[in-house]
Structure 1
Amino acid sequence: MILIISDNNDRTTIEVIRWLVSMDKNFILINDDEFFEIKVDKKRFLLQSENKAFFLDEIESMWYRRGGLQFKRLQYHNDSINIHMNEAQHWLEDYVLTTLESRRHVNKQSNSHVNKLLVLEYARKAGMQVPQYFLAENTDDVILNRTITKSITGNVILDNISEKRDGIMYTTIIREKEKKPFFTSFFQEKIEKDFEIRTFYLNGECFSMAIFSQNDEQTQTDFRKYNDEKPNRNIRYNLPKEVEMKIQKLMKLLDLNCGSLDFIKSGEVYYFLEVNPVGQFANVAYHCNYPLFKKIADYL
């Protein structure tokens, strides 16, 4: 049995499931709005939600796409008992997740969120070129028009309930100084790029796509500011073997067997930017005709 943990209606998950169905493979899909109780049935761990149930020892492989396996805990009126029961249930949950992640897997829930600052340090250890960066609470040391800022965390989506729309924190060029200090922020050297590269990594293989974002003013600094009227050109790209070897080294250091990595090519240099273990890669598959969904299904 294959276990898939994902968000509701994730298109990438749906594409992989189509392959599993065509291969006549048994799987169970867990979405992020489901809660499971841990039970024991004839000495076997049973995970049960309102409409799904499976034994832990039935799972032979697992794909952690997004979301998470969430648990429903028993609660008691006595606070002292609750403290003890929460601890006991925590260790049961930890056992279940650790056991699942010990099986054949693509990604793990336990390290699906990486620390960008540590990733950059590991990238340097792996021999990659990384743009100069620093943290600051003001713009005193910022070189205007030659420094960018972006989130220390992953993609930040801001909910604007009053206007019923969301906002994204994009990479931005610093063009003027701030008069007041602010919360610790991430600053990085602005690299003049030939083009960007998105690489999907899966168990030692790299599948790369060149993104010609610099040809459009709207996408020059951050290609996620998509221009639907004039889309960026995206084509297959082969990274030098030495760069792919450094990617493998970095992913091993991070204990990741899958992820989406971003690079900038500037002259002869490939600058590493970041890795997202659960990043989008459907665009790499579609634009470049890579069989990525089948690759994942085959591995599972």
Structure 2
Amino acid sequence: MKHIAYRRKKIVIFTNDASTLTVVLYDINAKNRALLEQRFQERLAELWSSLNIPEEDLNQYLKVAGPWQIGPTVNRNQLGRLNEVSYFTEMYLSDGVEDELFLSSKMTRTLRDSGSSKKASFAGDIPSIMRPNNFKWNEIKLEENSVDIEKLKRICNDLKQQERFRKEDFFFEDLDRTDEVVQQMVKLNDELLDIFIEGIKDEYSEKTIKSYKNALLIYLNQFLAFRLISVFNYGASSVDQMYIHGSSMTQTKQVQRSMSKLYSFLSGNGVMNVEFAKSMKRDMRNSIESLDYLDY
């Protein structure tokens, strides 16, 4: 299970790893979260029926699953598929799609239609996979964090240090010195991205990883660095400036999504204040939404 936030709405996503059977619940909040289990089972029943799976198999599935409980997703492959589904769910939400059954059906097919699905264990027929005699429950094992935290801290501290040169007189007068600082920030950004990509490489598809990296390289090195702005500066949240300066809306939104993932990564590894990261992600969403009100 994973939850994402979109325009102040919380969306909860459940995925069965063996079959890619996916349930998407929209707008979970304090008032209705007590109905989470009920809504999950209702959407699952609808999805089950749409796939022509016998109702008795669903009843057996729920019986075998036992009491409702939510635990952490700790397997990297499972987490990767959840992240993949989350990415595409956000794309549909941005197009105004909120219907839970449509999203659930679409996300169930998305991974099965991906380029790697032919090699995956879930490439078989869903009704066959979900037969009661195939149900198997495995004990989960936590995986260790492979991120080099000390190196990450050093890079982040160096970025903060370089950014301080914006306040120096030479930033406006000595172009050679300014260029040196810019190139140093580019170098540090490259190192930061290397650690970020290495840290999430097992959580997303190769295509998604490439998309994140390309968007971040453009924004961090070709846009922010030349303004001596790092990811620790509030100015980095103004992703709408990409669009105003000529980028497409699609590219601008991709930058916003990629930066959000980067902020989650940095705060999750303890090198960035969690509240600051939340604030930056919120401000980036707001900056994208503000573009809807531009008068062309």
The structure where helix makes up a greater share of residues is 2
More strand by share: 1
TM-score, normalised by the number of residues in structure 1: 0.23
TM-score normalised according to structure 2 size: 0.23
